[in-house]
Amino acid sequence: MPRGNLKEHAVVVLALASGCSSPDATCASEDLYAASPGGDLVSSPDVLGEVVLSSDETSFSTTFEALLDQLPEVWVGEEPLHQPTLLLTFALEYTDPQPAGAELPRVTAVLDTGRVSTTPWDGVQASIVLGGSGRSGQIGVAPFVVCASGSTEDCCPYGASRCAGGSALQLSRNADVFPPVRVRYTASASTQVYACLGDEPQASWTLEETGR
């Protein structure tokens, strides 16, 4: 069966449509796309957190682990799992009341999988600068990629029963004169799966914050 790379996307258990039901089964292309013409989108429940950054406490780090489990015995197509994504959304606010329109300190957020990038679509790292007049933003990475044919890189083998990966989040601000600021973050994991017509939901996401 051919193998394919997963593309980058831009984070507990939910149902996901599985692929063909037995190792000997095959999916006709018309069955595949009749069942899910755009793929079935599956997202984990949100994982919430917050931290206060100040001129004395200027940095914060944590990690997230994502597991896509109970995958079908038979994968269909070259890209049965489309755009697996670990997404972090941020919101900034001062811990104490400030004058209306007060500018926020700059906060840099970096999300890093630790993998080595081999293609422009690997999605191994993302970053954003929050603050100023903006109070929100988001970044995303691919928590794992499916192995290319003959690959020896850190990847999920095509046809595996589960795929797992994660990412480290680093937040930092300057030791400036701005008052303390609260950073709220929301993590979620998602992917799209292409399934055979008539298959029952089986696979599921688990997302955890593990390194705070």
The segment with the largest mean pLDDT, out of 13-17, 115-119, 200-204, is 115-119
Neighbour-count burial of 116, counting CB atoms closer than 10 A to its CB (0-12 exposed, 13-18 middle, 19+ buried): exposed
Domain containing 69 equals 16-209
Percentage, residues of the chain above pLDDT 70: 73
CA 133 – CA 137 distance, rounded (Å) = 12
- Average pLDDT of the chain? 79
Neighbours of 126 (CB within 10 A): 22
Give the residue-averaged pLDDT of 198-203: 62
Neighbour-count burial of 149, counting CB atoms closer than 10 A to its CB (0-12 exposed, 13-18 middle, 19+ buried): exposed
Q: CB under 8 Å to 36, separation ≥6 — which residues?
A: 17, 193, 194, 195
pLDDT bracket for residue 13 (50, 70, 90): very low
Structural domain count of the chain: 1
Q: Decide if pLDDT at 8 tops 50.
A: no
Residue 1 in domain = no
Q: Decide if pLDDT at 19 tops 60.
A: no
SS3 content of the chain, % helix, strand, coil (to 5): 5, 45, 50
What pLDDT is recorded for position 212?
72
Residue 26 in domain = yes
Residue 110 in domain = yes
Residue 11 in domain = no
CATH number at residue 40: 2.60.120.380
Residue 20 in domain = yes
Residue 181 in domain = yes
What radius of gyration, in Å, describes the C-alpha atoms of the chain? Answer: 20
Closest among 204, 188, 5 to 111, alpha carbons compared? 188
What pLDDT is recorded for position 68?
94
Give the residue-averaged pLDDT of 84-106: 94
Residue 8 in domain = no
Residue 142 in domain = yes
What pLDDT is recorded for position 38?
53
Q: What is the pLDDT of residues 166-188, one digit of tens each?
A: 999 999 999 999 999 999 999 99
Closest among 33, 5, 41, 39 to 158, alpha carbons compared? 5
What pLDDT is recorded for position 160?
86
Beta-bridge mates of residue 67: 164, 206
